Structures are given as C-alpha cells and as structure tokens.
C-alpha cells in the first residue's frame, strides 16, 4: 500500500492531435493570406531596381557629358553591343559622342545590364538619348514606363520623366501595366 502512494504520475509531454491540427490550420491560413503580399513585394522590388538602374545610367551619362565636355549618348543595346536598338528593356550602352551604329569598344563608356522580368517603354519612341556638353537632352524629353514582367492583370508600375535639362524624376502616380 505504501509503495503506490510514493510513485508520482508523470504526464506525457507533447501535443494532442487536435492541437496539432489547429496549429497547422492557422499556419495555412496565414501563409495563404501572406503569399500575394509577398509576390507584390517582389514586383515592387524589381520595379525599384529598374528605376535605380535607369537613374544611375542617365546620371552617369549626364555627369560625364558635363565633366568631359563632350556629347554622350545612352541607348538600348543590340545583343553584340555594337549598335543601338529600340527596346529599352535591353542592356543600355553609354557611348562617347553621337554614335548609334558600328560602335567600337573604345566608344563605350559603360554597359548597363538588362533588368530581368521588367518591361521598360519610352514614350517618344527614340532609340537613343543624346546629352549635350552642358548636360541637356533637348528634344529627347519624355517618360519611361516601368512594369514588372510578372505582373498580372491590375498590376501597377512606375513612371520616370526625363526633362529637357536631362534629369530624371519619379512620377508619384502609379501607372497601369
């Protein structure tokens, strides 16, 4: 009799099946709720990266034109980087002078790689933008529409506006892609 009174019962540690099912259900609901937000974050990040790519390329071309007192041209590149294309989603060439064809390696200041899964369109349809020795882009002002290539129906993009003075600014109003 005394022996059974001294033995303490220890309960088994762990989860019951009901607790486990409720936890899995809550995790599933939170994942389903958060996945679209996570995808939208990826699209916004790609667009921001494309905006930064364009701003950096145009700033380099403008600053080089001013500091070296020479015309600079920025344009989308063909696959072999020897001529300008009209697809602004391609890699960008920053070229010394006003060349658009038969571009030699010595003429290229920088090749800016293309941004994957991003569409860039220029409102004026020019295949190049030329900076004067004062950093102006007279006649080339316009806007660049940037959309994520993965964006579905109803997705929004960003718009960059190029002024006559050669500077880019981000339009605050999102665009429909």
Cα distance between residue 146 and residue 77, in whole Å: 18
pLDDT at 40 (0 to 100) = 77
Residue 4 lies inside a defined structural domain of this protein = no
The answer as to whether 117 is a domain residue is: yes
Who wins on pLDDT, 75 or 45?
Answer: 75
Tell me if 114 is assigned to some domain: yes
pLDDT-derived band at 30 (thresholds 50, 70, 90) equals: confident
Express each pLDDT in 88-111 by its tens digit: 999 999 999 988 888 999 999 999
Residue 6 lies in a domain: no
Boundaries of domain holding 116: 39-176
By the 8 A CB rule, do 165 and 154 touch?
Answer: no
* Beta carbons of 160 and 143 less than 8 angstroms apart: yes
CB 128 within 8 A of CB 75: yes
- What's 142's domain CATH number? 3.55.40.10
Does residue 90 lie within any of the structural domains? yes
Domain count, the chain: 1
Q: Please indicate, yes or no, if residue 151 is contained in any of the structural domains.
A: yes
pLDDT band with cut points at 50, 70 and 90 for residue 152: low
- When comparing pLDDT for 11 and 25, which is higher? 25
Q: What is the pLDDT of residue 12?
A: 66
If you search the block for the tokens 């999102």, which residue do you land on?
174
Q: Would residue 12 count as lying in a domain?
A: no
Q: What is the pLDDT of residue 11?
A: 65
Half-sphere exposure of 60 (CA within 13 A, CB side): 18
**Which pLDDT band holds residue 177 (cuts at 50, 70, 90)?**
confident
Mean pLDDT for all residues in the chain: 87
Residue 2: inside a domain, yes or no? no
Over 80: is that where the pLDDT of 151 sits?
A: no
> Is pLDDT of 4 > 70?
no
Q: Higher pLDDT residue, 154 or 94?
A: 94
Q: What is the mean pLDDT of residues 58-85?
A: 95
């Amino acid at each position: 009799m005394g022996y059974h009174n001294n033995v303490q019962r220890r309960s088994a540690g762990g989860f019951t099946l009901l607790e486990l099912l409720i936890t899995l259900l809550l995790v599933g609901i939170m994942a389903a709720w958060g996945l679209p937000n996570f995808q939208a974050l990826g699209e916004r990040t790609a667009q921001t990266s494309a905006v930064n790519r364009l701003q950096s390329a145009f700033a380099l071309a403008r600053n080089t034109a001013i500091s070296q007192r020479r015309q600079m041209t920025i344009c989308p590149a063909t696959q072999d980087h020897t001529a300008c294309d009209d697809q602004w989603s391609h890699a960008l060439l920053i070229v010394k002078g006003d060349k658009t064809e038969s571009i030699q390696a010595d003429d290229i200041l920088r090749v800016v790689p293309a941004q994957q899964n991003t569409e860039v369109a220029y409102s004026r349809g020019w295949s190049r933008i030329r900076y004067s020795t004062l950093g102006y882009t007279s006649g080339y002002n316009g806007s660049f529409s940037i959309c994520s290539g993965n964006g579905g129906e109803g997705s929004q993009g960003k718009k960059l506006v190029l002024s006559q003075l050669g500077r880019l600014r981000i339009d605050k109003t999102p665009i429909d892609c």
